[in-house]
Amino acid sequence: MRSRYSAYVLKLEDYLLATWHPDTRPAELDLAADDSKWLGLEVKKHTVQDASHATVEFVARYRIAGRGYRLHEISRFVREDGSWFYLDGDLKGGIAAA
């Protein structure tokens, strides 16, 4: 989770796509057009269901055009061939203005 957050901060589209599960991965990302400034990540909870499935609850803070936001999500990850992939996530309360 932390590496994917860092990839968003650094706009590393190739890394994000490579760590996104093929079943849910978008065809492309356009982070260059994204003018968000990421401010911090708080991992609230990490739960391992079994050797191949885990969830991470997190809050990421960011700012767009001077306005602050919070992204609160529970992300699902799956392990395949020794690597963890982001599968999908459920927003908790949506994206809230801070």
State the CATH number of the domain containing residue 57: 3.10.450.50
pLDDT at 1: 85
Structural domain count, the chain:
1
Give the residue numbers spanning the domain of 65: 2-97
**What pLDDT digit, counting tens, does each position of 34-65 carry?**
889 999 999 999 999 999 999 999 999 999 99
pLDDT at 74: 97
Q: Characterize 22-59 residue by residue with b for buried, 16 or more Cβ atoms within 10 angstroms of its Cβ, and e for exposed.
A: eeebeeebeeeeeebebeebeeeeeeeeeeeebbbbbe
Mean pLDDT of the chain: 94
Q: What is the pTM of this model?
A: 0.89
Average the pLDDT over 87-96 and give the result: 86
